[in-house]
A and B are shown apart, each in its own frame.
Chain A
Amino acid sequence: KQEVTQIPAALSVPEGENLVLNCSFTDSAIYNLQWFRQDPGKGLTSLLLIQSSQREQTSGRLNASLDKSSGRSTLYIAASQPGDSATYLCAVSAGGSYIPTFGRGTSLIVHP
Chain B
Amino acid sequence: DAGVIQSPRHEVTEMGQEVTLRCKPISGHNSLFWYRQTMMRGLELLIYFNNNVPIDDSGMPEDRFSAKMPNASFSTLKIQPSEPRDSAVYFCASSLGTAGEYDTGELFFGEGSRLTVL
Binding site for B on A (CB under 8 A): 31-32, 34, 36, 41-46, 49, 51, 89, 91, 93, 97-105
Across chains A and B, the number of contacting residue pairs, with CB separation under 8 Å, is 52
The reply to whether A98 and B42 form a contact with Cβ atoms under 8 Å apart is no
Interface residues, chain B, CB within 8 Å of chain A?
Answer: 4, 31, 33, 35, 42-43, 45, 48, 56, 91, 93, 95, 97, 99, 104-112, 114
Identify whether the interface residues of A are mostly helix, strand, loop, or mixed. Answer: strand
Contact residues in B for A101 (Cβ distance below 8 Å)? 45
**Residues on the B chain within 8 Å of A98, using CB:** 31, 95, 97, 99, 105
Query: Would you call A89 and B106 a contact (CB within 8 A)?
Result: no
A46 and B104 in contact, given A97-B56, A102-B42 (Cβ under 8 angstroms): no
> Which residue from chain B places its CB closest to the CB of A101 in the assembled complex?
B45
Interface of B is mostly: strand
Contact A34 B43 (CB under 8 A): no
Q: Are A44 and B91 in contact (CB under 8 A)?
A: yes
Are B107 and A91 in touch, CB under 8 angstroms?
Answer: yes
Residues of A with C-beta under 8 A to B93? 44
Q: List 30 contacting pairs A-B, 8 Å CB cutoff, sorted by A.
A: A32-B105, A34-B105, A34-B107, A36-B109, A41-B114, A42-B112, A43-B111, A44-B93, A44-B109, A45-B109, A46-B106, A46-B107, A49-B104, A49-B106, A51-B105, A91-B107, A93-B105, A97-B56, A98-B31, A98-B97, A98-B99, A99-B45, A99-B56, A100-B107, A101-B45, A102-B35, A102-B42, A103-B42, A104-B42, A105-B42
